[in-house]
Structure 1
Amino acid sequence: MQTTTLSFENLHNHGELFANMLRARRELFIERNKWDLPEAMGMEYDQYDTPASRWVVVHDELGEVLAGNRLTPTTARCGIYTYMIRDAQLGLLDTIPSNLLYEEAPVSETVWESSRLFVSQKVPLMQRRPIYFNLVQELAKAARNLGASQCLTLLNANWHLWNRRVGIDMTAMGPVMEIDGINNQVVSMNFAPNLH
């Protein structure tokens, strides 16, 4: 198992890995979850997959994607869009309630958003925990390397059951709300104590 952080600067060094990650996202989010998302050439994408973002991918030596995640700076702008959580709060996204945060969404060079976190459905249940652990550890490392002391993410509201196991300090940033039949909550992952 390998973990790679992709950017537009290094995509060319990793063959089909970026495309394979977008294919894995399509398989989960569009085919399995039936989300109405943009797709092309068998890949899922959205307005936040820009050169400003980074993608953390857990994969095998052949490039088969096991898990993934996207990191987007809260300072990003692409047309009317910034980052998913803030855009939802501003009412730009009709699939996520605008009252998802207790306070105004931050815009700061030290705060990034973590989104599109997934583990492939091809991964057997017994193998998911170490894959998820690797993904979160690499996400934390990538965020710190980008200068982030905090990441916001929209997670299943059961996050408090596993956050200590992956070694990340997490805090609720908004109320529990139902989205597509699942209880979700915006959470802050605090990396400041781990910054060197």
Structure 2
Amino acid sequence: MQTTTLSFENLHNHGELFANLFRARRQSFIVQNKWDLPEAMGMEYDQYDTPASRWVAVHEFGEVYAGIRLTPTTARCGIYTYMIRDAQMGLLDTIPQDLLYGPAPVDESVWESSRVFVSHTTPQKLRRRVHACLISEMTKAAREHGASRVLGLVPAVWTRFADRLGLDIEPAGRVMELDGIDNQCVSIDLTRKLH
């Protein structure tokens, strides 16, 4: 099993992995969750998939088991910044504006984690390892880009995995139901367990 952090600068080095990640996102978010999201050529995407973002993939033999998108909270593309802030600003009608306890940060040391998924085809016996690889690579990639904290909108069940995965995580907003799934904004402190 491999973990790879993709960017617009390095995606040419990884063959079909970038496209396969977006295909796996489509399967998870559009097919499985039945979310109404943009898609083209069998891939899910949105306005936050820009050169400012990074994408973490856990994969093996061309199959993507899991993924996360990381975006700096200083990102800007037209009227959009990053998903959590734009929801709070009322730019997204599918996510409530009161998703955070306080104002969404715009800080070079804070990155957003979004589009978190584990593929439904990931074998149950691999899931714990896949979660660990996903979080480890996300943490590493965020730190390499100067993040001391990651703000994420994740399925609320992920808070159960925090201790097991060595995450220093705390709620950053209320639990809210989005398309039948309980989600919550969380803040992950990357400074306490540097190694």
Letter in 1 for 2:75: A
Question: Hey, what's the Cα distance between the residues in 2 that align with 1:65 and 1:176?
Answer: 28
Aligned to 2:138: 139
**1:181 CA displacement:** 2.1
1:61-72 alignment runs, 5 A limit: 62-72=61-71
**1:182 CA displacement:** 2.1
SS in 2 for 1:164: coil
Q: Deviation digits for residues 41-71 of structure 1, max 9, x if unmatched?
A: 11000000000000000011x2211111100
TM-score by length of 1: 0.96
Aligned to 2:117: 118
| Counterpart contact for 1:58–1:66, Cα < 8 Å | yes
1:171-190 alignment runs, 5 A limit: 171-190=170-189
Question: Hey, what's the Cα distance between the residues in 1 that align with 2:49 and 2:114?
Answer: 10
Alignment root-mean-square deviation, CA: 1.0
Q: Unaligned stretches of 5+ in structure 1?
A: none
Q: Hey, which bits of structure 1, 4+ residues long, moved more than 6 A? A: none
Question: Hey, what's the Cα distance between the residues in 1 that align with 2:194 and 2:82?
Answer: 24
Question: Hey, what's the Cα distance between the residues in 2 that align with 1:69 and 1:155?
Answer: 10
Tell me, yes or no, if structure 1 residue 170 matches structure 2 residue 169: yes
Question: Hey, what's the Cα distance between the residues in 2 that align with 1:115 and 1:78?
Answer: 17
| Counterpart contact for 1:171–1:188, Cα < 8 Å | yes
Letter in 1 for 2:180: G
SS in 2 for 1:137: helix
Aligned pairs, number:
195
SS in 1 for 2:135: helix
Q: Unaligned stretches of 5+ in structure 2?
A: none
TM-score by length of 2: 0.97
| Counterpart contact for 1:109–1:148, Cα < 8 Å | yes
Question: Hey, what's the Cα distance between the residues in 1 that align with 2:193 and 2:159?
Answer: 19
**1:36 CA displacement:** 0.5
